[in-house]
Amino acid sequence: MRLLQAATVVGFLALWELFARTPTAAKADMPGALESLGRLGELLLTGKYWAALGSTTGSWAVALTASIVMGVPAGLAIGRSRKVFDSTKWSIDFLRTIPSVAFIPLALLLMGRTQAMVIVVAVIPAVWPLVIQAIYAGQQADPMLGRVARSFRLTLADRIRYVLAPDVLAFIWPGLRLATTAALLVTVSAELIGGSRGIGSEIMNAQIYNRSATLYAWVLTACFLGLLINAVLAVLQRKLLWWHPSLRGKQR
């Protein structure tokens, strides 16, 4: 299967290379796979490449961390109380459906083309899935497990470590996965629209200056970054949630 998968990748690159030679592709100024990969290789040797990549990754990581720090406790608190849940339900339902990219122009006006602008905008879509899942966790985190813990007289630290945290994590996990992709999508969008340093603005610049091989090299970079993030999530899931019935044995 590994071999077949490798063949798929090679086949795709070959198709790309062939397609790049057609008139359609020529009109769109599309470089071949080899040229794009070659360009990516050259970029890898420049400090500018790593600075832009680091900037995007940094914005993404800060936005995600901030979303977790804000969203999870808030969601748990909301989920624990029926009254708080009822009170906040409609506000949350409304606020979370506003497309976060709508805030980019406002953020641009307020903060200019800064990394802070990108981070603020990326937090918006990332925080909601976490809040929602944390609310479920607060509502449903297995009360039976809590009773077991108490009856065995676990210490508070042990109870959090062995009982509460795994259970809550299982609830939060789907939200975390949505949050990571949403944060990355909006980070790149904000860079693209706002022009602050990062993959998004590099892509836009390459397009504006008609450097198509550079453009494709950056798109490949964005793809690899996304793949890397998904791979890390998959490893974490295997390490942390291998016991969970709905995730056991799942590949994705």
Partner 1 sequence: MKPTRNPWARTGAGLAWHLWLPVLLVAGSLLLSQQFSSHYFPPLRTIAEQTWVIWFDGGGMAENLLPSLLRLLAGFCAAVVAGVLLGTLLGLMPRTEEALRPLTDSFRAIPGAALLPIALMFFGTGEAMKIVLIAFISMWPIMLNTIDGVRSVNPTLGQVMESFKLRPLDRFWHIYLPAAAPQVFAGARTALAIGVAVMVVVEMFGTPGGLGYFIRHAQENFQVVAMWTGMLVLGVFGYLLNALFRAFEKRILNWHHAMVAHTQGASS
The count of chain residues that interact with partner 1, using the rule CB under 8 A, is: 62
Contact between 243 and partner 1 (CB under 8 A)?
no
- Which of 168, 156, 154, 133 is closest to 240 using CA atoms? 168
Q: How many residues does the chain have?
A: 252
Q: What is the CA radius of gyration of the chain?
A: 22
Are residues 122 and 101 in contact, defined by beta-carbon separation less than 8 angstroms? no
Residue closer to partner 1, measured from CB, 125 or 137: 125
In the chain the first and final C-alpha atoms are separated, in Å, by 17
Residue closer to partner 1, measured from CB, 73 or 105: 105
Are residues 118 and 197 in contact, defined by beta-carbon separation less than 8 angstroms? no
Contact between 232 and partner 1 (CB under 8 A)?
no
Among positive and negative, which fits the CA dihedral 58, 110, 122, 62?
A: positive
Separation of CA 209 from chain center: 29
Give residues 2-61 in contact with partner 1 (rule: CB under 8 A): 4-5, 7-9, 12, 24, 28-30
Contact between 105 and partner 1 (CB under 8 A)?
yes
- Minimum distance from residue 201 beta carbon to partner 1 (Å): 11
DSSP 29: T
Rounded to 5 degrees, φ, ψ at 112 are 70, -165
Instruction: Report the residue from 53, 79, 218, 237 that binds partner 1 according to the rule CB under 8 A.
Output: 218
Contact between 235 and partner 1 (CB under 8 A)?
no
Instruction: Report the residue from 230, 240, 241, 247 that binds partner 1 according to the rule CB under 8 A.
Output: 230
Instruction: Report the residue from 118, 215, 217, 237 that binds partner 1 according to the rule CB under 8 A.
Output: 215
Among left, alpha and beta (phi > 0; psi -120 to 50; other), residue 197 is beta
Interface pattern 143-182 for partner 1 (x via CB under 8 A): -----------------------------------x--x-
Are residues 60 and 187 in contact, defined by beta-carbon separation less than 8 angstroms? yes
Residue closer to partner 1, measured from CB, 1 or 45: 1
Residues that bind partner 1 (CB under 8 A): 1, 4-5, 7-9, 12, 24, 28-30, 83, 86-91, 93-94, 97-103, 105-106, 108-110, 125, 178, 181, 184-189, 192-193, 199-200, 203-204, 206-207, 212, 215-216, 218-219, 222-223, 225-227, 229-230, 252
